[in-house]
Amino acid sequence: DTGVSQDPRHKITKRGQNVTFRCDPISEHNRLYWYRQTLGQGPEFLTYFQNEAQLEKSRLLSDRFSAERPKGSFSTLEIQRTEQGDSAMYLCASSSDRGEQYFGPGTRLTVT
């Protein structure tokens, strides 16, 4: 399977804990995106990497959120001191330059 993969698929955590998600893009894609989707809504953009450079961050991305793509391949999204409002589906997508974005299956986060 050469699609976008995400790990874990589900995460349940207690409020105040830190969580980290991983995304592996399609291997030849140099662009990687993170989105967040809450129930009944469309995905909302969080941040974007071109190779290892983080080029854009949404205002939705508070200082508790950090994303990295250290070698321009996989990416991690960390949420520190989780809050109940962080409960959502976190989606990763990748694309080539000027190509369409292909999405992974998402990581569903539940903060209790």
Partner 1 sequence: AQKVTQAQTEISVVEKEDVTLDCVYETRDTTYYLFWYKQPPSGELVFLIRRNSFDEQNEISGRYSWNFQKSTSSFNFTITASQVVDSAVYFCALSEAEIYNQGGKLIFGQGTELSVKP
Interaction site with partner 1 (CB under 8 A): 31, 33, 35, 40-45, 48, 50, 55-56, 89, 91, 93, 95, 98, 100-106
Q: Considering the complex, what minimum distance in angstroms separates the CB of residue 43 from partner 1?
A: 5
Output 77 or 91, the one with its CB closest to partner 1. 91
Report, in Å, the least distance between residue 16 CB and partner 1. Answer: 27
What does the block give as tokens for 20?
A: 């980290």
In whole angstroms, the minimum distance from the beta carbon of 73 to partner 1 comes to 17
Give the span between the Cα atoms of 96 and 29, in whole angstroms. 5
- Residue 90, classified by CB atoms within 10 Å of its CB into exposed (0-12), middle (13-18) or buried (19+), is buried
Closer to partner 1 by Cβ: residue 18 or 96: 96
For the CB of residue 56, give the shortest distance to partner 1 in the complex, in Å.
Answer: 6
Q: How far apart are CA 63 and CA 104, in angstroms?
A: 25
The 3-state DSSP class for residue 44 equals: strand
Q: Is 44 exposed, middle or buried (0-12, 13-18, 19+ CB in 10 A)?
A: middle
In terms of CB distance, is 74 or 103 closer to partner 1? 103
How many residues are present in the chain?
112
Closer CB to partner 1, 48 or 65, in the complex: 48
